Amino acid sequence: MSRYVLYGGPITRAIICEMVLIRTGLYHELREIDLSSQEHREPRYKTIKPAGLVPSLITPDGQVLHETPAINLYLSERHRIEALAPAVHDRDRGNSPGGLCFISGELEPAFRRFCYPHRYIMRPEDEEDMRRHSFQWIMHLLDTVDLRLQQGGPFCLGNRFSLVDLTLAYWIGPTAGKRELSAAPAVIECCERVMQMEPFTDKFNELLNLFGQYEARSQGAWFGRTAKPVPGRSPPENGQRCPFRQLKGSGPV
Ligand SMILES: N[C@@H](CCC(=O)N[C@@H](CS)C(=O)NCC(=O)O)C(=O)O
């Protein structure tokens, strides 16, 4: 095999790896795994990735790589795309993996609980609460990112765009227009900048379209159902700081 093969699905985080592959300019093949028909849980895919999650990347020499940020760092470093990941000797190198770890270690688990609340509860009646608390926690985390961006943006590494922003834009970009997100204006600005950057714009438009279809099908289940204000608090007005900052570590994590 003389090319990269990426296993992914259209609205999954595999799209970040695809964007990185596009940015490297390397020839690659995309093999779509249909999550809606549970193809990721079939033995055929599990022989490639036993965890049954996407993405996974097969390198030209046949190695199977897992975990989105690791795949993206590998591709950027292996092919020396310093516009995505600062090189080892670069002073920005320190915060680059740090930002990726924050997204995958903090933000993503909150999104996971938000998207799949039933996996984390003992009683079905707790599902809505789990979603609502996870949403609050997402906003709390975004607030810390927002403060950092306001102090030293417009990107997560200052003036320099990187994989960290690309990853953040995947998670937040499709919902950037939602009223709830107006509490994190610097995050939105960062994501919108990234979504307009070449060569990523086409993929982000694809993602926005799919996301719009998904939202229409689920009647706004994404943010709509959770947009209810927390009792005793008002939803943020445009430009206001995030009210969930008061949570101070008392989240569902
Ligand atoms: N930590 C993994 C997580 C992979 C992951 O959760 N992928 C989602 C799609 S975005 C998935 O396969 N979900 C299927 C499921 O949870 O059943 C990574 O970053 O690659």
Whether ligand 1 lies within 6 angstroms of the CB of 11 is answered as no
pLDDT digits (tens, 9 = 90+) for 39-97: 999 999 999 999 999 999 999 999 999 999 999 999 999 999 999 999 999 999 989 99
Fold classification of 91-247 is Glutathione S-transferase Yfyf (Class Pi); Chain A, domain 2 (1.20.1050)
Region(s) of the chain under CATH 3.40.30.10: 4-78
> Where along the chain do the CATH 1.20.1050.10 domains lie?
91-247
Contacts of residue 232, defined as CB under 8 A and 6 or more positions apart, other chains included, come to: none
* CATH fold group of domain 4-78: Glutaredoxin (3.40.30)
Give the pLDDT of residue 178: 79
Distance 46 CA to ligand 1 centre (A): 13
Binding site membership of 53 for ligand 1 (Cβ less than 6 Å): yes
Distance 45 CA to ligand 1 centre (A): 13
CA of 37 to the centre of ligand 1 (A): 15
pLDDT, residue 28, reads 95
SS3 for the chain is CCCEEEEECCCCCHHHHHHHHHHHCCCEEEEECCHHHCHHHCHHHHCCCCCCCCCEEECCCCCEEECHHHHHHHHHHHCCCCCCCCCCCCHHHCHHHHHHHHHHHHHHHHHHHHHCHHHHCCCHHHHHHHHHHHHHHHHHHHHHHHHHHHHHCCECEECECCHHHHHHHHHHHHHCCCHHHHHCHHHHHHHHHHHCCCCCHHHHHHHHHHHHHHHHHCCCCCCHHHCCCCCCCCCCCCCCCCHHHHHCCCCCC
Q: Which of 54, 103, 166 to mutate to test the pocket of ligand 1 (most atoms within 8 A of CB)?
A: 54
pLDDT of the residue at 165: 98
- Cα of 235 from ligand 1 centre, angstroms: 30
pTM: 0.87
Using a 6 Å cutoff on CB, does residue 40 contact ligand 1?
A: yes
- Mean pLDDT value across the chain: 86
Closest ligand 1 atom to residue 41 Cα is 17
pLDDT in tens, 100-109: 999 999 999 9
Residue 188 confidence (pLDDT) above 90? yes
Nearest Cα neighbor of 239 from 179, 191, 197 is 179
- CA-based nearest residue to 55, from 92, 29, 85, 91: 29
Q: Between 2 and 129, where is the model more confident?
A: 129
Q: What is the pLDDT of residue 214?
A: 81
